[in-house]
Structure 1
């Protein structure tokens, strides 16, 4: 809960006490409690903004303060409410306050993890159109493949700048993301209205913090049917440690993509786990070319051919790619097909390209959820009865073993499920009970993933660090090397 929300809940309880138990408290206490409660409510609405989770406390505060009935009770010390009525009202009101607090805590306006690097972070978003590729997901002939990319980078920040919200402030753009994510989480869209208050740690279009050497580049790819906005904390942390990060929205494979010109795209990719290995390659080809196109565009941006704060700031000879789920598989595919990419991180992504002979001699980090060891053991013991699935798993495991020979690592995170490799784990603890995230605390999960990803890229792009890649460490008991 936010500061004024906590104060409002406490003041509402104090107001309730002063109203229902006027014989035990001075008459002036009711006036003071009413004034304080209404002042806090006003400050909360002005500074933090309304959200529906607090409706119960809003209603109690206004009713107790403004209702003539409550005023008459408070104004006379001789009023003798039946004890049962008085305590019933008190009990019901306490239930309302308690439920409001629980609801606000379970669906919080959460904060992204604080930056741990030495740099403050700037951000901006731009669209890029590949004139050489037609868009395959639209019905209009001649439509070109149009991408939305967001950048994070080490920045110089003045005192008047404010951090950017995670979701767009434009109501139409925000509505597109709420609609898409509500379908993904399978809850009504109005529930997520409070997301507009979630803020990042980055400052929009802040000046780049120039360095004596340019910064390595890392490209992030979201999972199938999600969005780049679920990887903001990962991007910010890397940028705060001296990387330039760009995250790609792969249109028509996201819950929504809201472009700066006001156009929005939805999810249209025909894809499921049932057709993963037949359709996956064709979709992966599109995503891989998206990444390759962005790299080519960044050559021009870095050379000053496009207006941006990043001219000359990117080391285009030190490129890493990472991603979650299908985006992780794409990152690994780009590593093996694009000679400019030096290292890749695959966060719990099943591979759609299983040809072990296509592997490049370059390092990759595989981060796996907590069922990986069980699946690996079942495969070893021959307990997977589906012959096709068993063959696919065997090929994936063989690729991971080969990756380790090329300086890579395969790591399992205990207590993590698939979406613990995204910011979704920060949105609500209730996601754990829905089976979307695992038992590991969201902030702890984010911290472990961010530290291992950073150490991997430091080792392979900067030539520093690498200690975490050497094996198990006592400060990370959740991590198992395979």
Structure 2
């Protein structure tokens, strides 16, 4: 196990350091009201993820992967990943999966100074059933890899992942070690985002692309680590990422021939991708804050395959994640200043913003991985007026 600084001792610095890329400074909240969520009935979940929109029930499982042939660029030692798989399930029966582990929930609440029970984020109700059999008779299913923003974790893309799984995709959410937080490993260690403090965003994006290559090696082929890996179609693979994860998506499309198409959820572009360009399908869903991320305008003319540049009208940086919806349900919306809230979520209703991102993502991957007819891609604003096509 690589050495790491416990999250409780280092998160505040991590969040401040990561703000340059992910605007995670808005996570540094004033103390929340002790009454937040107090009007919920006794025993009810403190918050609930939006329901998936597809026909499949959703299953989920967690994997711990160790790459003994690669040294961790941030802390040394072997490179390790925590991965959550979401997938079409055989039935909707079974135990509902927790949103976070109890340790991750406690570490997050402690680090942010929230006056909430330590297990609050553990008890958020998801729509996925833990370790249930997949719907193998209707597979194999395309695979979509999800990469979170700096200092955030794979759990905060759960609503997007569950929706994709309900529409017939296997989804792999990756916590890139020391680039995500909080992340609990099987031995109980909870790590923080050492990479955020480095400011080496381009290095991190390339590092994440290598993580994805390792992940694909372990999820497919004769030595796959998941017992139901046969339901993954290794000829149809996509990727989406938020912020730093969006940057990594472009790098992965460039470096990994097995990944066919990608979505960047409001992230910048760096070399080598911005220099080399891409001939694979790539979409950008950017915020509506009035200024494009670094590299976006330079990348656009270097995209020679299918491309689409979308501005989510009224949005901030994090509308494609679970955070805004859960903050409202937990009674934490007023804990951000109006400026912080606008930077993260704009003025679009947070459920509507997340709905639009989920619908676009399903349409994108259905079209590019399954050749599905998707009118939404031809005219996104017809379905969602907030999805404005940018013509640079």
TM range (shorter): 0.7 to 0.9
Deviation (angstroms), 1:311: 3.0
CA positional deviation for 1:177:
3.8
- Pairing partner for 2:95 from 162, 177, 183: 162
Q: Aligned runs of 1:223-242 on 2, under 5 Å?
A: 223-242=149-168
Aligned to 2:83: 149
Partner of residue 352, structure 2: 444
1:242-281 aligned at under 5 Å gives the runs 242-271=168-197, 275=199, 279-281=200-202
Q: Is structure 2 residue 377 aligned with structure 1 residue 469?
A: yes
Distance 1:54 1:214, change over 3 A: closer
Distance 1:311 1:350 in 2: 33
The alignment status of 1:288 with 2:209, answered yes or no, reads yes
Partner of 1:368 in structure 2?
286
CA RMSD of superposed structures (Å): 2.5
Shift in Å at residue 201 of structure 1? 0.2
Q: Distance in 1 between matches of 2:230 and 2:317?
A: 37
Cα distance change on mapping 1:271 and 1:54 into 2, 3 Å = closer
Question: Against the structure 1 CA distance between its residues 307 and 339, is the aligned structure 2 distance closer, same or farther, given a 3 Å change threshold?
Answer: closer
CA contact (8 A) 2:147 2:241 kept: yes
Q: Which runs of 4+ in 1 moved over 4 A?
A: 189-193, 354-357
Distance 1:474 1:360, change over 3 A: closer
Aligned ranges for residues 74-473 of structure 1 at < 5 Å?
101=39, 109-138=46-75, 143-157=77-91, 159=93, 161-168=94-101, 171-180=102-111, 182=112, 187-188=113-114, 190=116, 193-271=119-197, 275=199, 279-300=200-221, 303=222, 305-308=224-227, 310-353=228-271, 356-371=274-289, 374-375=290-291, 393=294, 395-403=295-303, 405-429=304-328, 430=333, 431=336, 433=338, 434-435=340-341, 436-473=344-381
Distance 1:432 1:121 in 2: 36
Aligned-partner Cα distance in 2 for 1:215–1:413: 29
Assess, with a 3 A threshold, how the Cα gap between structure 1 residues 264 and 356 changes in structure 2: closer, same or farther.
closer
State the alpha-carbon separation in 2 of the partners of residues 173 and 367 from structure 1: 29
Q: Distance in 2 between matches of 1:286 and 1:179?
A: 29
Contact 2:325 2:350 in 1 (8 A): yes
- Identify which of 37, 40, 53 aligns with 2:35: 53
Aligned length: 346
Q: Aligned with 1:114: secondary structure? A: coil
Which structure 1 residue ranges, 5 or more long, are not aligned? 1-50, 56-99, 377-391
In structure 2, runs of 5+ residues without a counterpart are 1-32
Q: How far apart in 2 are the matches of 1:399 and 1:221? A: 20
Deviations 1:353-405 (A, max 9, x none): 2654512311001000112xx336xxxxxxxxxxxxxxx85x531322443x4
Q: TM-score, normalised by structure 1?
A: 0.67
Q: In the TM superposition, what whole-angstrom CA distance separates every residue of 1:297-343 from its partner, at most 9, and x where no partner exists? A: 1124xx364352x2311011111011000000101110112111100
Instruction: Give the secondary-structure state (helix, strand or coil) at the position aligned to 2:100.
Output: coil
Work out whether residues 119 and 155 of structure 1, in 8 Å CA contact, stay in contact via their aligned partners in 2: yes
TM-score if structure 2 supplies the norm length? 0.81
8 Å contact 1:157–1:203 — kept in the other structure? no
Of Structure 1 and Structure 2, the greater helix share is in 1
SS at match of 1:151: strand
Q: For 2:157 and 2:251, how far apart are their aligned partners in 1? A: 20
Larger of the two Rg values belongs to structure: 1
C-alpha separation in 2, matches of 1:464 and 1:249: 30
**Structure 2 CA distance for partners of 1:480 and 1:334, relative to 1, 3 Å:** same
RCO higher in 1 or 2 (8 Å CA, sep ≥ 6)?
2
Cα distance in 2, alignment partners of residues 342 and 177 from structure 1: 35
